[in-house]
Amino acid sequence: MDTKQNVTHKYMESITVQTSIKSDLDRVWDYWTRPEHITNWNFATDAWCCPNAENDLRPNGNFCWRMEAKDGSMGFDFTGTYDKIIDKALISYKMSDGRNVAIAFLQNGDEVNVRETFDAEGTHTDEQQRAGWQAILENFKKYVETQ
């Protein structure tokens, strides 16, 4: 009798992006988590926008951030459910497609280091994904530092 089981393992590579923001941790956390701020930075280029954001920041809370091309050619809802929240330190969530994301916040002198690690998806190359997420993170940095 064969005791081997046919098990399929889906390996997902993790990608990390990070930046340092000249600000204090309270402000960075506030701007990352409050919908009225999310709509001002949650897009990779000026050709896109985030017209709406809902954010229930608690374990098992859901979020939905609408991302659209300004010309109306495409758009999607970026959605998921929070797993773990450590105030002003860590946010982890599962996207609606099952991929995991963790964002760490660390005050380092007069800067806050933001490090975001996410499971890669199979549609775009890792480099395309890294570039897109990094662009959004840099847009966040610019928003925080210029407000």
Q: Where are the domains of the chain?
A: 14-146
CB-CB contact of 105 with 17 (8 Å): no
Task: Determine the Cα–Cα distance for residues 145 and 147; give it in Å rounded to an integer.
Answer: 6
Residue 78, beta-bridge partner list: 65
SS3 129: helix
Q: What angle do CA 96, 117, 82 make, to 5 degrees?
A: 40
- Looking at residue 12, its pLDDT comes to 66
Dig out the tokens for 29 from the structure: 């956390």
- Looking at residue 3, its pLDDT comes to 40
Show pLDDT as tens, one digit a residue, over the chain (147 residues).
Answer: 444 443 333 456 899 999 999 999 999 999 999 999 999 999 999 999 999 999 999 999 999 999 999 999 999 999 999 999 999 999 999 999 999 999 999 999 999 999 999 999 988 899 999 999 999 999 999 999 999
CATH of domain 14-146: 3.30.530.20
